[in-house]
Amino acid sequence: DGGITQSPKYLFRKEGQNVTLSCEQNLNHDAMYWYRQDPGQGLRLIYYSQIVNDFQKGDIAEGYSVSREKKESFPLTVTSAQKNPTAFYLCASSIDGPGAHRTQHFGDGTRLSIL
């Protein structure tokens, strides 16, 4: 079955440490996204990528970095510059193209906490 796999499900970060969240999809989707969700809040866009080797900053990109070396993979690194990283991180993918019926498929998320 096609889908999006995020790992790990839970992650703990120490002060000054960079951590990387994995996101892999086998839906053959061109576009991939990373969102952050805080308790009782909506989804805020961190980064998105519409094609391999290209990505754009979302609304809250500071303290995060991404790469898109393969169509299937869009890892997110939470750097030590992100002072408040505790949140639920969601990866999504979608088909692309103007006028296409656009839906996003989400992974099950990664919960990141500070030790």
Partner 1 sequence: GQSLEQPSEVTAVEGAIVQINCTYQTSGFYGLSWYQQHDGGAPTFLSYNALDGLEETGRFSSFLSRSDSYGYLLLQELQMKDSASYFCAVRDRGDDKIIFGKGTRLHILP
Give every CB contact of residue 57 below 8 A, 6+ residues apart in sequence: 47
Residue from 87, 90, 93, 112 binding partner 1 (CB under 8 A): 90
Residue 47 CB coordination number (10 Å): 21
Q: Which stretch binds partner 1 (CB under 8 A): 12-20, 39-47, 64-72, 76-84?
A: 39-47
Q: Is residue 93 a contact partner of residue 4, using CB atoms and an 8 Å limit?
A: yes
CA neighbor of 68 nearest in space, from 81, 51, 45: 51
**Residue from 23, 25, 33, 64 binding partner 1 (CB under 8 A):** 33
Binding piece for partner 1, criterion CB under 8 A, among 12-20, 66-74, 77-85, 102-110: 102-110
Footprint of partner 1 on this chain (CB under 8 A)? 33, 35, 40-45, 48, 50, 56, 58, 90, 94, 98-99, 101-109
